Chain A
Amino acid sequence: MALLEVSNLDVRFALRQGEVRALRDVSFTLDRGERLGIVGESGAGKSVAAFTLLNLIAKPGYIAGGSIRFEGSDLARMSSRELRRVRGNRISMIFQDPMMTLNPVLSIGEQMVESLKAHRRISTQEARAIALHKLKQVYIPSPETRLDQYPHELSGGMRQRIIIAIALLLDPDIIVADEPTTALDVTIQAEIMTLLRELCEKHNVGLVLITHDLGVVSQMTQRTLVMYAGRVIEQGPTREIINDAQHPYTQGLLNALPQMTTPGSRLNQIPGSMPSLSNTPSGCAFHPRCQYRYDATGQPRRDCLDQVPEFVTSGNCQVACHMVRDMLAKEAS
């Protein structure tokens, strides 16, 4: 059994204008020590997926169906007391905005000691020693003095490092990181990512990394999940997806990168833009933008317009596309 097993998640936001279906039928697993990337464009539902993993979806949002099994027990059905034992302890989260984690009125040391003592029966002195050790692990210069500093006294890169230290504080099994470096500079970003990967490898911590940057996914993860309009449309080993994407949208995303064409020539653009989740197209949500939605005679394929594609297996990847399904079937016969 996988450490984390997400099945058929369905998350909705009940808004006055109507219901927004933010996640539909999202399923994936994460093994101990595995690093998984979730990619997709803005509004695809990546952050909702991250929040849902910790059952942090708040009104008007709710989990309408599916399960999030962590070591067998379903986070979607846990009491808030049980949830508190998992959150921050067994599964910790790094938010895009550091100030979602850091309390501005407490010193770094106070916050770290407080969360340690909330989960473990230890003395303040012991907690401080652990906090210091964690700060050293993320290469914070002069960690002793940092313990007494306040969040606003630190630079963005330093803050994000401290947040990683806090995420690691209780030796979690999984870290969920939602775009942990988008607010940072390129050179600092690279440092933080390398650090995060090294620490996960060293301590066998699983990572769910949310990003829109395919380069980051490529450097950081072993498996990748591609989202479009609230659904997973392709998942598999990162290398296979980067080198040999199957789904037309994943192919389109990769091909649109400037490095995929010779400098100065036109880029391979995907026409149109991602639909809003309150108004997703019928059938395959990608169909209005997909160049493969026509059959051999040039007629639009009915299944692309009417039917949500099921997953088919291609190599080690799962792909939700009618065209890919047909090609595989043809190959097999």
Chain B
Amino acid sequence: MNAVATQASPATPTSSATDSLLEIRGLYKHFPLAEGFLEQLRFEKGRLVRRNDSVHAINGVDLAVRRGEALCVVGESGCGKSTVARLVMGLLSPSAGEIRYDGHRIDDLRGKRLLPYRQRMQMIFQNPYASLNPRMTIQQTLEEPLRFHHPEWTTPQIHDKVAEVMASVGIDPEWGKRFGHEFSGGQRQRIAIARALAVDPEFIVADEPISALDVSIQAQVLNLLMDAQAERHLTYLFITHDLAVVEHFGTRVAVMYLGTVCELADTRSLFARPRHPYTQALLSAIPRLEDNRPEHVRLSGEVPTPVHLPSGCVFHGRCPHVTERCRQEVPQLIATDDGNRVACHGVEEGRL
């Protein structure tokens, strides 16, 4: 039997003695619904009450990213993928839970104390059009993070570093004089990657870095990310909704639904044998090139909004295997016999 299967409950992941670079424990993030005071007032049972709804974007996520791996996070729009990324990068603070980087808590750090981590962790965003400052030349764009993190460097040192990183991602040095808007989406994403790599990070959070790009350009950028991983021993938290990319790029996969992780598995076994009913539906929904594919799993209903979370299993409204227990009790992520983790009563009960 696999060692992971005999591990203690997932609510208490083993301490930082593991090979985890990043650990997320019991993470919650609620956003208050952006409504004015008047809109919060409701007339209920004959009197005015103040209803203060919030968006339950992340609802108890435990996740560890191992050193050197590419952990992919997949799930449908609004399931909380970007929120996880922003929480990890310190761009948002959690409502509850903690985030540890290399064994140290980072979720409560501010200002100067966060700075070293800002260098070790870099983020690449989805939209290559918005992520570059249009008033800066490419040279300035690439110099900026270096000047910020290495104020003691001389200008020649900075120029050398910029030249080096441009070469490593295949940017023509001549681009340096030009501005962001003069480049295509793929070229801009290449520049954004160069900018992230300039400060020699060890961990990269990439939020849908290729989704806005064309197929032929996606391949270019994905190759670049894989080359960088091999050459620089990078660790990735890679967010995407494209399962073909996950299958190709991911070491492990976390499948999210409505702010929770419903399955966590190594890539090969997830694709060979998805266990959670939602993962099964998701995999069967990929339009494949072959024509002799099985019918996709038809789900009923729509993705609920994270304002009023369903009781019990968040997937129960659409699940073909729902039972009364599913409607009431929240399933926990439990280890399966192949060392992966699934949050589903049906799997736990052995009926799936």
Contact = CB atoms under 8 A, between A and B. Distances in A.
Interface stretch (B201-209, B294-302, B329-337, B339-347): B294-302
Given A157-B302, A266-B223, A273-B186, A187 B216 contact: no
The 8 lowest CB-CB distance pairs between A and B, nearest first, are A215-B287, A258-B248, A190-B285, A41-B214, A256-B219, A269-B219, A185-B76, A267-B219
Interface residues of A, number: 41
A253 B289 contact: no
B282 interface: yes
Contact of A219 (B227, B241, B268, B287): B287
B278 to A, nearest CB: 8
B217 A261 contact: no
A308 to B, nearest CB: 21
Interface in B100-151: none
12 contacts: A41-B215, A218-B287, A219-B291, A258-B244, A258-B248, A261-B248, A267-B219, A267-B248, A269-B220, A273-B186, A273-B214, A273-B217
B287 A273 contact: no
Contact of B286 (A158, A194, A215, A269): A215
Given A191-B298, A267-B219, A257 B285 contact: no
Contacts, number: 114
Given A267-B222, A270-B219, A187 B214 contact: no
Contact of A186 (B214, B220, B241, B298): B241
A218 B223 contact: no
B218 interface: yes
Nearest to A156: B302
A190 B187 CA distance: 31
Interface in A204-260: 212-216, 218-219, 239, 242, 252-254, 256-259
- Residue of A185, A212, A270 ringed by the most chain B CB atoms within 10 A: A185
B200 interface: no
B contacts with A: majority SS = helix
Given A190-B296, A258-B222, A269 B216 contact: yes
A264 interface: yes
A219 B295 CA distance: 11
A109 B241 CA distance: 35
Nearest to B268: A263
Nearest to A220: B287
Interface in B206-256: 214-220, 222-223, 226-227, 241, 243-245, 247-249
A41 B248 CA distance: 21
A57 interface: no
A270 to B, nearest CB: 4
Contacts of A270: 216, 219-220
B308 interface: no
Contacts of A258: 219, 222, 244-245, 247-249
A186 B284 CA distance: 10
A312 interface: no
B289 A218 contact: yes
